[in-house]
Amino acid sequence: MIPVRAYFRLFAKYLRPYRRKASLLAIVLFATIALQLANPQLIAEFIDRATEGAEVGELVPLAVAFMVIAIVHQVLLVWATYLAEQVGWSATNQLRADLADHILHLDMGFHKANSPGELIERIDGDVTALSNFFSSMAIKVVGNGLLVVGIIILLWAESWVVGLAITVFTGLTFLGLVRLHGVTVPWHKAIRATSAEMFGFIGEQVDGREDVEANGATAFMVNRFDRIQHKWLPEVVRGWTGWALMWSASMGLYFFSLMIAFVLGAYLFGIGTLTLGSVYLVFQYIGMAHRPIEEIREQLVDLQKAGASIERVEDLFATESRLVQRDERLLPDGPLRLSFEHVTFSYDDEAGDERVLTDVSFDVAPGRVVGLLGRTGSGKSTIARLVTRLYEPQHGAVLVGGIPTWDIQLDDLRKRVAMVTQDVQLFRASIRDNLTFFDDSISDARLEEAIHRLELDEWLSSLPDGLDTMLESGSGGLSAGQAQLLAFTRVFLRDPGVVVLDEASSRLDPSTEALIETAVDHLLENRTAILIAHRLATVARADDIIILDGGRVIEQGDRVALAADPGSVFSHLLVAGMEEALA
């Protein structure tokens, strides 16, 4: 069954801004239909007059009119193609932008469950499959349908016997094509899904190529690639089988129509019901009907692909973020209080995942720096993600500035709460664009002031072209330490009230270690901060300490007081060596 409502919803929404051009396209296409129907009439008239012995002077105007109509028809077809491509790409580009915007506003759980390669395929691959749908599919289906109807009406005008025979057979064939369309849509949907899985797999392997090769996992990954290919092949074969069925049906109609025209034309001409020109007209119209029927068949194949893509696009739009916004409050300026109130969290509560945090409570006064310690897997990074509201706790509340995170306007929260991790995302752009995230409103003077405040002038001068130095994506051609300096400058430009450093100094290189330590000191001035670290030097700048074990807070308090207490866990870490004790 053709999902007409789904087609119409998407069609109406994304063609509405281009309705004038779409209307013009419809007019041009319908004009070409009228010209197509008119020209055979001229030829039939030419044949009848010629066989009746008409003078050349009477035939020339018919020939000239035929040529003029043919030329105008070709010009209109070129114009229609131009309009269709312009409308189609404009509409699909807007759909891509809306999908990308929707995905970027989904919670981190969605992005963990869907690889970047799969999302790229769904945003670009599925939408590209809709480009013909938006450009001219519906208009061509309707237009070619009207052309077939016009041909049948004219055949009825020539002979009701021919008209009735062609009408019945054409109706039965169209019914069969529609039924076949309904059967093959799920086949194309399966192809699109496996295609997305393949691109997601390739994206993961390209991103983790070094780890795969270094750990000897190449054969395993090739085997996974082979399994996806084995799954994909029969789905593609099934999809092409649907195309073959549609092609066979349309060709069967064409040849059977020609047979009907030959038999009935010869009989009716023999008994004098049809003239020679009328017999030609019947053959010409039946031949003309083959092309629009073929186009309708091709459009139905595109509708199969579009139907599968539309379902996947609508599924993506229907995916809602788990981050429910209850209010739109704004945070005050300056350092912000940070509180966890009986927070319990697991990454997939519905699947029954093990809890990462259990009844975690602590309070960080404005301007205080907290060192967050614990073994790997104890929940430190999860706390950082909850503070920045990448996830929502299942129980309890996270408060920033005394306001629950779900009551804070999300854009304001992300502006006033900043996080720096050990992996810094760089873009294929200049240092300037990487620092400002492509915000042209930030002047070079403000950038240079931030760099000066962080005492990174020497670092900036070491770059070959200063702020105009071009970086590549990924590592960007910078060392890990230099990338961290860039990340600190990004945060400083935002002037947040809360800073979370998630092991941001764990990948230092000797050339930038001193610069990073100085930058961190300036970054934490008059700001509330959480430092997640294994290094003693990083924790030494903390005012308070919170220690996690198994997702629970086992110790918290003033750093100096805990260090002086020989019975405290923190004191034991200092004696044993933090790196070894927390390994």
Question: Which residues are tagged catalytic?
Answer: 503
DSSP 353: P
Q: Are 344 and 394 spatial neighbours (Cβ–Cβ below 8 Å)? A: yes
N-to-C CA span, the chain: 59
The type of residue at 35 is L
CA-CA distance, 492 to 549, in Å (whole number)? 32
CA-CA distance, 239 to 235, in Å (whole number)? 6
CA atoms within 13 A on the CB side of 38: 16
Q: At CA 227, angle to CA 221 and CA 231, rounded to 5?
A: 145
CA-CA distance, 531 to 539, in Å (whole number)? 7
Q: Are 509 and 537 spatial neighbours (Cβ–Cβ below 8 Å)? A: no
Nearest 10 degrees: Cα torsion 246, 252, 257, 258:
130
Q: Which residues contact 457 (CB under 8 A, 6 or more apart)?
A: 451
Q: Are 497 and 335 spatial neighbours (Cβ–Cβ below 8 Å)? A: yes
CA-CA distance, 290 to 525, in Å (whole number)? 77
Q: What's the token pair of residue 473?
A: 């994506």
Q: Are 319 and 110 spatial neighbours (Cβ–Cβ below 8 Å)? A: yes
CA-CA distance, 335 to 361, in Å (whole number)? 20
Q: Are 109 and 322 spatial neighbours (Cβ–Cβ below 8 Å)? A: yes
Buried b (16+ CB within 10 A) or exposed e, 432-441: bbbbbeeeee
**Which residues are 329's β-sheet partners?**
408
Buried b (16+ CB within 10 A) or exposed e, 134-147: bbbbbbbbebbbbb
Q: What's the token pair of residue 490?
A: 């990004």
The backbone torsions φ and ψ at residue 554, rounded to the nearest 5 degrees and listed phi first, read -105, -15
The type of residue at 552 is R
CA-CA distance, 194 to 475, in Å (whole number)? 31
The type of residue at 208 is G
CA-CA distance, 268 to 278, in Å (whole number)? 10
Task: Choose among 168, 185, 171: nearest CA to 4.
Answer: 185
- Chain centroid offset of residue 134 CA: 17
Q: Which residues contact 451 (CB under 8 A, 6 or more apart)?
A: 457, 459, 460, 489
CA-CA distance, 503 to 525, in Å (whole number)? 19
Q: Which residues contact 105 (CB under 8 A, 6 or more apart)?
A: 321
